[in-house]
Amino acid sequence: MAEADTLSPPQAPAATAITCPSCGGTVAIRAAGHSVTVACEYCASILDVSEPAVKLVVEHHRRRAALDIPLGTRGTLKGVEWEVVGWMARSEGGAYPWEEYLLFNPYEGYRWLIYNRGGWSFGEQLTVVPGGGWGGLELDGAHYKHFFAEGTAQVDRVVGEFYWRVKQGDTVRTDDWVRPGYMLSREADDREISWSRSEWIDAKTVEAAFGIRTESGPWPPLPHQPSPHVAWLKQALVIAGIAALAIIAAAMFAGGSRTLAEQTLTIARDGNDQSATLGPITLRRPYQPVSVRAEVPSLSNGWVDLEYTLVDRATQRAFNTYKAAERYSGRDSDGDWSEGSRRTTADFASVPAGTYDLVVDYKGNNWLGAQSIGDWRNAAFAPEMRITVTSGGAPFGVALLALILIGVPVLFGAIRHAAFEQARMGESDFAPTSSEDDD
C-alpha cells in the first residue's frame, strides 16, 4: 500500500477511434483502456473493445438515439469536469422508464447522471456494503429506509461505451433504500451483486453544467427527492419562534395589570340615557393598553348599552369604543337555558401617555314580563354596575391574535410539507394501504 502511495498520478487515457464492423461508422472511444463495450452511435451495434480486434457482439441497424446530453458533452459537477461516454434507457419490465448517463473523468473514474421524470441524481458505485437489515440500512452514519423491494430493471436501449459488458435486454434484480436527498440501490444477477448511492441534484445545476433544458420537477416526488418546503419551514419556525417570544416578553414586561380607576354606577330603571365620568386616569408609559370592565351582578333577561370615551385632558384627543353587557335565561321544551354574560370588557389597544377622563354613556334595558331578581319594574330594586379601568400587558385577545397570525404561515408550510411527504411515501412498496385500496 505504501508503494502505491509513491506512484505518480495516473495519466489520462488518450481517446481513440475504431471503425464499426457493422455500419462502417467511426466510433470514438473516450476512455480507452477502461471501456469493455461500446455501442455504435450510428447503428446501435454493441462492440467488444476489450481486445485489439474489435468484435461485433450485437448488431442493431437503426438510427442513433436522440440524447438530451449528446455523447462527448462535458460538464462540471461537484467541482469535477465529467464527459458523457455512455447512455442507457432502462425500465421496470417496460414500465416506469428512466435514463442513465455514464460520466467519466480519468482521475475520478466513473459516475452516473440519472434522469427520471424530470428529476436528476448523481450516482456512484460503492466499494463497501451498507450495514443493517431489510427494514433499514446504515451507511456513513446515515439511516436509509427500505422503499422498493424485489424489482427488475432491464436495459431497453444503449449507446456509448461502458466499463462492463452490456446489451439490450440485460436484467438485474433491484432493491432501493432512501433518505431525503439520497438513495441506496442494490442490483444483482446470477454473477454478482453491486451497490450504488445516488444523490438528488437540482435541475438547474444539471442545466448549468451541460447547457440543457429539462421539464419541471416530477410529481409524484421521486423516492429520495427532498421536500422543497423544508428550508422555508425551518426559517419560518425560527422567525415565528422569535416573534412569539418577543410577544410573550413584551406582555410580561408590560404586565402587572394595575387599577387606574374604579366606580359603582346605578342604572336607571326607566331606561333613560345616563352618563358618568371617571378620572383622572394617568398613563405614564409612551404607549399602553387600557381595559375597561363593566360588571352588572343582578343583570337578568336584559342588557346594558355601554359607550366609552377616553379623553386627554391636555389635548382633548378622544378614543372611543362600544360594548354591551347582556344576560338571558329561561326554560323551554329542552330544559333550562342561558346565554350572554353579566361582565364585559372593552380594550383600547395603544393609548399614549397623558392624563385622561373616561366618560361612560350607558343605558339599561330589559325584557317586558321578566320575572327575576333582576326585574327592573320592581321599584325597590336598584341595579348597579361596577366599572373598573386597568392598564398593563397587552390584552389577551390582541396577543392571541398576534400569535395566530404568526402561526398561520407556519401551519400552511407544514401542511404543504406533509402533503409532499405523503405523496412521496405513497410510491413506496411499503406505503400503508387502506381497506378501500385493498378492495
**How does residue 255 score in pLDDT terms, banded at 50, 70 and 90?**
low
Q: How far is CA 206 from the centre of its chain?
A: 24
Question: b/e map of 336-357 (b: 16 or more CB within 10 Å)?
Answer: eeeebebebbbbbeebeebebb
The residue ranking higher by pLDDT, 43 or 60, is 43
Whole-number Å distance between alpha carbons of 217 and 68: 16
Burial category of 144 from C-beta neighbours within 10 Å (exposed 0-12, middle 13-18, buried 19 and up) = buried
Taking a C-beta distance cutoff of 8 angstroms, is the pair 302, 326 a contact?
Answer: yes
Strands 119-125 and 109-116: antiparallel
Q: pLDDT tens digit string along 168-213?
A: 899 999 999 999 999 999 999 988 999 999 999 999 999 999 988 8
Residue from 378, 366, 258, 357 nearest 312 by CA: 357
**How does residue 252 score in pLDDT terms, banded at 50, 70 and 90?**
low
Q: pLDDT tens digit string along 229-250?
A: 998 899 989 988 898 888 777 6
pLDDT surpasses 50 at 383: yes
Please report the pLDDT score of residue 311 as a whole number: 96
Taking a C-beta distance cutoff of 8 angstroms, is the pair 108, 80 a contact?
Answer: yes
Region of 79 (left: φ > 0; alpha: ψ -120 to 50; beta: rest) is: left
Residue from 167, 29, 125, 123 nearest 85 by CA: 29
| Helix, strand, coil abundance in the chain, percent, nearest 5 | 15, 50, 35
Please report the pLDDT score of residue 258 as a whole number: 84
Order of strands across the sheet with 318-332?
Answer: 258-266, 384-391, 274-295, 343-366, 302-312, 318-332, 335-341
Q: Residue with C-alpha cell 444503449?
A: 158
Whole-number Å distance between alpha carbons of 376 and 366: 7
Q: Which of 152-161, 317-326, 411-420, 426-435 has the lowest mean pLDDT?
A: 426-435
Please report the pLDDT score of residue 76 as a whole number: 96
Please report the pLDDT score of residue 373 as a whole number: 44
- Going from the C-alpha of 370 to that of each of 91, 344, 378, the distances in angstroms are 82, 22, 11
Strands 136-139 and 171-179: unpaired
Taking a C-beta distance cutoff of 8 angstroms, is the pair 152, 172 a contact?
Answer: yes
**How does residue 16 score in pLDDT terms, banded at 50, 70 and 90?**
confident
Q: How far is CA 138 from the centre of its chain?
A: 26
For the domain with range 258-392, which CATH number is right: 2.60.120, 1.20.1420, 3.30.70, 3.30.450? 2.60.120
User: In residues, how long is the chain?
Assistant: 439
Q: Residue with C-alpha cell 432493491?
A: 175
DSSP 8-state class, residue 270: T
For the chain, give the percent of residues with pLDDT over 70. 80
| Residues with Cβ within 8 Å of residue 141, at least 6 apart in sequence | none
Q: pLDDT tens digit string along 79-100?
A: 999 999 999 999 998 899 999 9
Please report the pLDDT score of residue 306 as a whole number: 96
Collapse the DSSP code of 143 into the 3-class scheme (helix H, G, I; strand E, B; otherwise coil) and give the result.
strand
The residue ranking higher by pLDDT, 225 or 367, is 225
For the chain, the structural domain boundaries read: 2-226, 258-392
Q: pLDDT tens digit string along 105-138?
A: 999 999 999 999 989 999 999 999 999 866 689 9
Please report the pLDDT score of residue 199 as a whole number: 97
Q: pLDDT tens digit string along 338-366?
A: 999 999 999 998 899 999 999 999 998 76
Residue from 240, 281, 263 nearest 405 by CA: 240
pTM over the 0.75 mark:
no
The residue ranking higher by pLDDT, 193 or 25, is 193
